[in-house]
């Protein structure tokens, strides 16, 4: 099993609610950490990783109800 955990900076204009910070445990300062890649780069690297993989199974807690839809939204935002 391979676990991919990539954090990236929020995109310009992203809405960040206090509730989202509470749920994720992040602080606003952690979100603007410039050592993290921008959304576009993180998505491009993820897609390259997927294309190089023999397996295309995404596992998680709420993959079908949230994760895939969220990822598709990110693709549109990043214009990938």
Q: Give per-residue pLDDT as tens, 33-67.
A: 889 888 888 888 888 888 888 877 777 778 888 88
Residue 34's domain comprises 18-78
Instruction: Identify whether 29 is part of a domain.
Output: yes
Does residue 7 sit within a domain? no
- For 24, 59, 73, 77, the CA distances from 3, given in Å and listed in that order, are 18, 9, 22, 24
Domain count, the chain: 1
| Residue at 9 is within a domain | no
Q: What is the pLDDT of residues 2-44, one digit of tens each?
A: 666 778 888 888 899 999 999 989 999 998 888 988 888 888 8
């Amino acid at each position: 099993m391979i676990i991919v955990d990539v954090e990236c900076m929020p995109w310009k204009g992203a809405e960040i609610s206090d509730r989202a910070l509470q749920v994720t445990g992040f602080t606003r300062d952690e979100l603007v950490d410039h050592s993290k890649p921008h959304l576009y780069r993180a998505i491009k690297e993820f897609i390259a990783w997927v294309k190089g993989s023999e397996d295309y199974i995404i596992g998680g807690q709420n993959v079908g109800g949230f994760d895939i839809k969220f990822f598709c939204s990110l693709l549109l935002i990043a214009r990938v």
